[in-house]
Amino acid sequence: MKFSWRIILLWTLPALLVGFFFWQGSMAGNANDMGNNSASTRMTYGRFLEYVDAHRVQSVDLYEGGRTAIVQATDPQLDGRTQTLRVDLPSNAPELVAKLRQEGVILDSHPVRSEGAVWGFLGNLIFPLLLIGSLFFLFRRSSNMPGGPGQAMNFGKSRARFQMEAKTGVMFDDVAGIDEAKEELQEVVTFLKQPERFTAVGARIPKGVLLVGPPGTGKTLLAKAIAGEAAVPFFSISGSEFVEMFVGVGASRVRDLFKKAKENAPCLIFIDEIDAVGRQRGAGIGGGNDEREQTLNQLLTEMDGFEGNTGIIIIAATNRPDVLDSALMRPGRFDRQVIVDAPDFKGRLKVLEVHARNKKLSPDVSLEAIARRTPGFSGADLANLLNESAILTARRRKEAITILEIDDAVDRVVAGMEGTPLVDSKSKRLIAYHEVGHAIVGTLVKEHDPVQKVTLVPRGQAQGLTWFTPSEEQGLTTRSQLTARICGALGGRAAEEEVFGHAEVTTGAGGDLQMVTSMARQMVTRFGMSDLGPLSLEDQAGEVFLGNGLMNRSEYSEKIATRIDAQVREIAEQCHQRARQIVRDNRVVIDRLVDLLIEKETIDGAEFRQIVAEYTEVPEKEQFTPQL
């Protein structure tokens, strides 16, 4: 539809020109009848009557239905010679003809030519015909475009991409770091290839498999691998493609999708982001979309209704399982839920090995070291990390990726792009004390994660950063570890207060204080780590569109709320005082580290701990030793 107006103008302008010329021809039809009799001199009607009364008019030829007359008259001023004159006659002059006959004037009437009417009719008809033809041409042209007007009758048809033999280019060997999920899904492939192994013992393959996990963990990649391994017909569609502005279209598309699937059974159907159509029904505000609910009802019926769908396996993916309707999650529809979580150390190492296949790495690059310093990274994050490293390598005109590009890529992925270096000023020194405060507290508190590096290079919104490396793959967190993290977060504010005074503290600790308040409140209200006892007083905040946000009221009295606030404040204040004491006791080494940081702008964790060990005893922390 991009060139539709251009095409309409291209068709209509010639039509207008042709119609104009036809109109001109019809208007000139009668004038051509006058031929050589066309008068070069015009005469008024009154003057014409005077000529008739003076017996000077010899003949009169009437044209255009009596509106125009060509008169042959003698003029005494021209020695009685005959001249041809043109007279425009009034429409209401019936006595003129009688008067001309009475004077013996030769009178003749010329009827209107029929060709002029024909040309006028054709001129009026040609424009609508050309306009209709151009619109028909546009309609046919756009009918071949996806979503064009020609698709108006196909709203109810499924838009799922269909492949008789899916050639996704992805196999199970290309999916790493999520071995448990792969094992669950390999059974689906085995059933499609060798169903007798299961039916012989009375087993029934799950009708639906729901892949659940955070974004970027490989849910869609797993679906591609299943399609590539199974070698059966494969339908893929997004949940948002079912829903349209027209009521009933989504349900019609669901019916059409399962109709096609039945014709090609056994087959796979992959629905990505199923939460777009599978949210809870009747959940209050934001949940009254009747079209979406009709689509969900039809999907529930097709998956497990009165009529079964033998041989159709549905695989769906979502990162919001909490919003899905309970009827969709029950056995018989989605019998199996596969958790696709962020990979652990072994998983990250395997993911890095997969994505490093086509990367040229320097011999000094250790994938184990990269996996160790990237806890919490998803598969997509790790792929992006190596890709950013390759881009930096090409930009710096190096032949292979070195550890320097890896470090810069990690910093860029986590904190953002590198900013302009700070100039040596009071502000830079204040930021240096703030970051060294974080690092010194994190180093001297035993339960805190070890420092990886301290830098004054701005990244994103941060003017300086202190990186910590987790000492182990933590599934659970102890109370001492939480209080150590709170102390480390308050180390920057503590250094500002001890060095510059209470009046010179800055807004740089704003994000740290938010984290401190959140962790301390969770310790009190969710984890039972306070004097209030082992009580869980608050749940995680619900979503408003699920009807939970307005109904989630605190189930404790105002007295308990006051005690909660007091406990949160007490935890934060105790950690704050501990951080200030550490900064006060180690002021000499802090000053040295600040001078070194301003000079080098970045201090490595090992160098930082070595300098601190010269002045005080550094507690020995548990180092993470991965089991390969």
Which tens digits make up the pLDDT trace of 144-189? 444 444 444 454 555 566 666 666 667 777 777 777 777 778 877 8
Range among 290-294, 340-344, 523-527 with highest mean pLDDT value: 523-527
Residue of 589, 588, 628 lying closest to 607 (CA atoms): 589
| pLDDT of 551 strictly over 60 | no
Higher pLDDT, 380 or 92: 380
Q: Is 484 exposed, middle or buried (0-12, 13-18, 19+ CB in 10 A)?
A: buried
Q: Is the pLDDT of residue 312 over 50?
A: yes
Q: Is 339 helix (H, G, I), strand (E, B) or coil?
A: strand
Q: List the 602-604 sheet strands across, edge first.
A: 465-468, 451-455, 602-604
Average pLDDT over every residue of 1-24: 52
pLDDT, tens digit (0-9, with 9 covering 90-100), for 496-533: 999 998 888 988 888 899 999 999 999 999 899 988 88
State residue 59 phi and psi, 5-degree precision. Answer: -150, 155
CB pairs under 8 A, 24+ apart, for 93-101?
99/52, 100/52, 100/57, 100/60
Structure tokens at 485: 């993290």
Do residues 407 and 364 lie in contact, with contact meaning Cβ atoms separated by under 8 Å? no
Statement: residue 599 has pLDDT above 70: yes
Report the CATH fold assignment for 161-339: Rossmann fold (3.40.50)
Extract the runs of DSSP E, i.e. beta strands, from 152-254. Answer: 161-163, 208-212, 234-238
Structural element, H or E, at residue 582: helix 558-585
Q: What is the mean pLDDT of residues 18-33?
A: 50
| pLDDT for position 21 | 52
Beta bridge partners of 72: 59, 84
CATH of domain 345-415: 1.10.8.60
Residue 111, preceding peptide bond in cis (omega within 30° of 0) = no
Alpha-carbon gap, residue 268 to 229, rounded angstroms: 12
What topology does CATH give the domain 426-613?
Methane Monooxygenase Hydroxylase; Chain G, domain 1 (1.20.58)
Compute the distance between CA of residue 571 and CA of residue 324 in angstroms, rounded to an integer. 38
Confidence of residue 140 (pLDDT cuts 50, 70, 90): low
What separation in angstroms does the CA of 379 have from each of 86, 350, 374, 451?
A: 95, 10, 11, 25
Report DSSP state, residue 452: E
Q: Is the pLDDT of residue 1 over 50?
A: no
Average confidence (pLDDT) over 407-435: 81
Is 95 tagged catalytic? no
Lowest-pLDDT range, 422-426, 491-495, 544-548?
Answer: 544-548
Q: What is the model's pLDDT at position 246?
A: 56
CA distance 63 to 33: 9
* Run of H or E residues at 604: strand 602-604
CB atoms within 10 A of CB 614: 9
Which of the two residues, 488 and 265, has the higher pLDDT score?
A: 488
Q: Which of 435, 447, 496, 498 is catalytic?
A: 435
Mean pLDDT of the 602-619 span: 88
Closest to 495 in 3D by CA, of 535, 526, 454, 524? 454
pLDDT tier at 544, thresholds 50, 70, 90: very low
Structure-model confidence comparison of residues 401 and 147, the more confident one: 401
Q: Is the pLDDT of residue 412 over 60?
A: yes
Tell me which amino acid residue 334 is: F
**In this model, does residue 360 exceed pLDDT 80?**
yes
User: Do residues 242 and 288 make contact, with C-beta atoms less than 8 angstroms apart?
Assistant: no
Name residues whose C-beta falls within 8 Å of residue 295's C-beta, 6 or more positions apart in sequence: 242, 243, 250, 251, 253, 254, 277
Q: Which long-range contacts (CB under 8 A, 24 or more apart) does 71-79 make?
A: 71/39, 71/43
How far is it, in rounded angstroms, from Cα 376 to Cα 386?
Answer: 16
Class of CATH domain 1-154 = alpha beta
**Longest pairwise C-alpha distance within the chain:** 143
How high is the pLDDT of residue 260?
84
Q: Give the separation between CA 107 and CA 61, rounded to whole angstroms.
A: 6
The pLDDT assigned to 491 comes to 93
Domain residue extents for the chain: 1-154, 161-339, 345-415, 426-613
Strands 81-88 and 106-109: unpaired
Q: What is the pLDDT of residue 44?
A: 82
Q: Pick 316 or 188 by higher pLDDT.
A: 316
Mean pLDDT of 235-264: 76
- Report the chain's mean pLDDT, rounded to a whole number: 78
> Rounded CA gap, 51 and 176, in Å?
112
Rounded Cα–Cα distance for residues 3 and 328 (Å): 45
- Can you tell me the distance from the alpha carbon of 416 to that of 31, in angstroms, rounded to the nearest whole number? 83
